[in-house]
Amino acid sequence: MKEFNGRVAVITGAASGFGKEFARIGASLGMKLVLADIQQDALDATVSELAGQGVEVIGLRTDVSRSEQIQALADAAIARFGIVHLLFNNAGVGAGGLIWENTEQDWDWVLGVNLRSVIHGIRIFTPLMLAAAEQDPDYQGHIVNTASMAGLVNAPAMGVYSMTKHAVVSLSETLYQDLGLVSEQVHCSVLCPFFVPTGFSQSSRNRPSELGNATAPTRSQLIAQAMSERSTGAGKVSAAEIAQMTFDGIRDGDFYIFSHPQAMPLVKDRFDAVLRAGTPGDPFAGKPEVRANLVAALRG
């Protein structure tokens, strides 16, 4: 996709982090916007900000884990603008801790937001894009799925989150292959950021009460939360910079969009281990004191 002015973008998780920055850049490029988020006040504030700049924008409170609400989002986009050119399957949450300590509610919450939402987005929006391409030879559509570097490597105490992001990478690669069989006009990318200060570590603020845990967090979950807050808070690349990289990648036709090239050796180490049928490598090999501190904290 080379042209953005006048095109229509649908963005989930649009009221904060990457999603809000996608919306801001889309607005600066003259796009019409359909914004979705589960946090109503933050969504209203984002819509108000952009509408005040003269942007054609609508917002819809959306629980992205529910297919009927993604369908409602698509219906709203078509009713208002008649077409969708760019879809950001971006909403995401996280939970950590030793993987056997995660509850069924943890799994349902993270799987619903991180993975099922992407499945719903692809299933519902891709046919709309392909239909538009059949009707207009100049139509260009693009889907961006937000995964993570955690979708390419596996760190301890991040199992629920990492599993969903690995699935998003796989789903995106399959989408790329499948689209190539049927169209030259609809494309896709997978965004794999590393640690970025976005407020992601506080994602539990929007966790539905019915998926809450009746018991207190375990020691490993508290440690994982503290590590997440520290790591994301120390990130040197901003959400705005990631969003600009993403739009550049869309324009250039990139499939993999990596924000932190310095993290790629971790990916290489993992795939090297797979190829030699070895054991998973140590993600803290370069910082053994981090692993030592984690072991000491977990073993008490």
- Separation CA 249–CA 199 (nearest Å): 24
CA distances from 222 to 102, 165, 273, 287 (A): 12, 21, 30, 21
Please name every residue paired with 97 in a beta bridge, in sequence order, or none if there are none. 158
What is the b/e burial string over 192-229, where b = at least 16 CB atoms within 10 angstroms of the residue's CB?
A: bbbbbbbebbebeebbeeebebeeeebebbebbbebbe
Which listed residue (139, 161, 176, 256) is catalytic? Answer: 161
Extended beta strands in 67-170, E state: 86-89, 141-146
Q: Which residues contact 125 (CB under 8 A, 6 or more apart)?
A: 10, 74, 84, 87, 143
- Separation CA 20–CA 46 (nearest Å): 7
Based on the residue annotation, tell me whether 161 is a catalytic residue of this protein.
yes
Tokens of 177: 């292959």
Do the beta carbons of residue 148 and residue 90 sit within 8 Å? no
Sheet bearing 57-61, strands edge to edge = 57-61, 32-37, 8-12, 86-89, 141-146, 186-192, 256-258
Residues tagged active-site: 161
